[in-house]
């Protein structure tokens, strides 16, 4: 009888980190399904940001998407990048016809959809799904295009929370003077940190976890899946925690140079991405549930109102400084007012 080959997980990953990587992979792969392939599809190169590289979950997303894209007349040639900025720059330079990045890099291609990650703009999953439904509607198709660029799909990555090394940081006033990691010197987050009175520390995906875990920064902003994948439990296990207030919602976005694709390709992709919203959010919620309850820092209602007021002031300031698209903020306000029509912002319409 042949011996059973019991493959063990790599020794360098803690089991809980391996589970989270698996969840992230499941979250991203298998979302697109399959379909009949059309005759003679055109080949288009797509630059894909994936922190793991050729074998990472984002790259597998695009590989799984290939049959669907072919049914709409396109065969993707995939080129994976571990540096998001390089992927975006190559797309701008014409090295590739499409690019997959986070909303952070989308800002230079489409300000409208990049504003969907506005601080405090969306408060919960129900509002987020309403916003994504609007974005996939043909009624907003003109806003998906900006010059030669078009947003051809949005997939949510979950809420971004504040990870703090000191649990006493439970209100806006206590953020003053704290060192906060700012990814790739993001001007939006850097501006928000300055408005708080904090100290912005330049960071990157590669360095952020180490900065937080070794105490070089007091606060980082990250989704729940980063808790295990980036081993952030090391930074909060001695008196820290995660503030239970969604600062913003992050996403992966597919940007194409629309003249290089068949008519209607972008709309097909947006509508199909929407059908996978619930599957994506199920796994995001599973990642959040992995975090021990004692690490979540609850915000009392009066303090939550303070956060809401601060976030609104930040959105308006960032809009006036040209970082946020006014139309996007208006759409987001209408979404919030759909679920809470008696709120004062629904009457004042400041956004």
Helices 277-289 and 265-275, packing angle to 10 deg? 40
Low-confidence residues in the chain, pLDDT < 50: 1-23, 25-38
How far apart, in whole angstroms, are the C-alpha atoms of residue 171 and residue 181?
18
Residue partners of 295: CB distance under 8 A and separation at least 6: 233, 236, 240, 241, 242
How far apart, in whole angstroms, are the C-alpha atoms of residue 297 and residue 162?
10
80 in helix, strand or coil?
strand
Q: What is the pLDDT of residue 306?
A: 79
CB contact burial 230-255 (16+ within 10 A = b; e otherwise): bbbbebbeeebbbbbbbbbbbbbbbb
Q: What is the pLDDT of residue 171?
A: 76
Ordered domains of the chain (ranges, CATH) = 21-157+250-289 (3.40.190.170), 160-248+296-323 (3.40.190.170)
Identify the residue whose tokens are 């690019």: 99
**pLDDT tens for residues 213-229?**
999 999 999 999 889 88
Torsion of CA 227, 229, 233, 236, to 10 degrees: -60
Tell me how crowded residue 266 is: count the other CB atoms within 10 A of its CB. 22
How far apart, in whole angstroms, are the C-alpha atoms of residue 20 and residue 71?
32
pTM (two decimals) = 0.84
Q: Pairing relation of β-strands 241-257 and 145-146?
A: unpaired
Q: What is the pLDDT of residue 29?
A: 40
Tell me how crowded residue 320 is: count the other CB atoms within 10 A of its CB. 10
């Amino acid at each position: 009888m042949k011996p059973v080959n019991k493959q063990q997980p790599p020794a360098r990953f803690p089991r809980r980190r391996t589970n989270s990587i698996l969840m992230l992979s499941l979250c991203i792969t298998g979302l697109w399904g399959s379909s009949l392939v059309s005759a003679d599809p055109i080949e288009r190169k797509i630059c894909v940001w994936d922190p793991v590289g050729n074998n990472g979950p984002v790259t597998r997303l695009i590989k799984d998407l290939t049959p669907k894209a072919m049914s709409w007349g396109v065969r993707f040639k995939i080129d994976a990048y571990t540096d998001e900025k390089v992927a975006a720059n190559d797309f701008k330079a014409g090295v590739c016809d499409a690019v997959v990045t986070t909303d952070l890099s989308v800002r230079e291609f489409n300000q409208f959809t990049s504003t969907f990650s506005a601080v405090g703009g969306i408060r919960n999953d129900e509002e987020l799904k309403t916003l994504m439904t609007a974005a996939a509607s043909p009624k907003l198709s003109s806003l998906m295009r900006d010059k030669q660029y078009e947003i051809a799909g949005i997939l949510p990555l979950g809420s971004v929370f504040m990870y703090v090394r000191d649990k006493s940081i439970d209100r806006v006033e206590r953020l003053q003077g704290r060192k906060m990691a700012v990814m790739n010197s993001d001007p939006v987050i850097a501006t928000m940190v300055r408005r708080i009175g904090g100290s912005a520390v330049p960071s990157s995906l590669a360095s952020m976890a180490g900065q937080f875990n070794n105490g070089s920064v007091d606060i980082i902003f990250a989704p729940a899946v980063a808790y295990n994948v980036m081993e952030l439990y090391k930074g909060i296990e001695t008196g820290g925690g995660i503030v239970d207030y969604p600062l913003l919602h992050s996403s992966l976005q597919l940007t194409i140079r629309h003249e290089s694709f068949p008519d209607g390709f972008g709309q097909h992709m947006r509508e199909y991405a929407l059908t996978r919203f619930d599957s994506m959010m199920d796994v995001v919620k599973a990642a959040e549930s992995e975090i021990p309850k004692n690490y979540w820092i609850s915000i009392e209602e009066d303090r939550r109102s303070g956060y809401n007021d601060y976030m609104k002031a930040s959105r308006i300031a960032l809009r006036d400084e040209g970082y946020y698209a006014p139309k996007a903020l208006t759409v987001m306000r209408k979404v919030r007012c759909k679920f809470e029509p008696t709120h004062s912002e629904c009457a004042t319409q400041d956004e």
